[in-house]
């Protein structure tokens, strides 16, 4: 019997315009990524700020690409650092989207594991933040509150499909304080670190150098 096709892609999404964000910093950062990282193709998708679009398209993208890693990116006007979100919830989505709609009952009903109220990522957010904070021009923090809007909704949807290879990143608006170039660079580092953590979860070493930094929780950070 033939082996299943191994994932050869990384799926990265950003959101389109909404509200005051006529130019969405999340998509600006994603669109600047290279087409390949560590030999894996980067698939970049802009997602409308609409619940039905997420319910329809995100599971389809997982099925189409069978990605090694998924990184969703959103913008937060409240953020002054790059935030790595640790979890997402199934319910509480009562804020209307750009189509003036909310999900029925405020619930992410399309998700594969829709009976679980809160799902955490299997990737160590602290490790990723520590990596970003090694750069003097970047600042990062972990967060456990993605905001009960499309950012958390899309995160929950993907976490319910595969929590071991899914991340969500909140970025501040452009130039408050990071430029598009800085945000894109940060995403590259997040992806590289996420690949190493994903491989560790699978019991692989990804060819990590013995000099790679080991954190107190036992996770290994990317040495790029």
- As annotated, the active-site residues are 85, 151, 170
* SS3 state of residue 202: coil
Give 212's contacts (C-beta < 8 A, 6+ positions apart): 196, 220, 221, 222, 223
Question: 214: buried, middle or exposed (CB in 10 Å: 19+, 13-18, 0-12)?
Answer: exposed
> Coil, strand, or helix at residue 85?
strand
Q: Burial level of 216, CB count in 10 A (0-12/13-18/19+)?
A: exposed
Q: Which residues neighbour 145 within 8 Å (Cβ) at sequence distance 6 or greater?
A: 85
């Amino acid at each position: 019997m033939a082996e299943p096709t191994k994932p050869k892609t990384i799926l990265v999404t950003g959101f389109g315009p909404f509200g005051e964000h006529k130019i969405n910093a999340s998509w600006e950062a994603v669109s600047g990524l290279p087409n390949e990282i560590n030999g894996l193709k980067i698939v970049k998708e802009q997602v409308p700020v609409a619940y039905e679009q997420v319910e329809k398209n995100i599971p389809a993208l997982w099925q189409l690409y069978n990605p090694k890693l998924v990184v969703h990116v959103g913008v937060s006007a409240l953020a002054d650092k790059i935030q790595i979100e640790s979890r997402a919830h199934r319910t509480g989505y009562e804020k209307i989207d750009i189509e003036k709609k909310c999900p029925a009952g405020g619930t992410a009903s399309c998700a594969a594991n829709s009976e679980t109220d809160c799902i955490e990522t299997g990737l160590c957010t602290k490790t990723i933040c520590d990596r970003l904070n090694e750069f003097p021009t970047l600042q990062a923090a972990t967060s456990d509150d993605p905001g009960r809007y499309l950012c958390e909704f899309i995160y929950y949807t993907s976490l319910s499909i595969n929590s071991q290879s899914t991340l969500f990143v909140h970025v501040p608006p452009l130039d408050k304080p990071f430029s598009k170039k800085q945000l894109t660079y940060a995403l590259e580092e997040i992806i590289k670190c996420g690949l190493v953590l994903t491989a560790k979860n699978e019991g692989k070493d990804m060819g990590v150098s013995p000099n790679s930094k080991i954190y107190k929780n036992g996770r290994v950070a990317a040495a790029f």
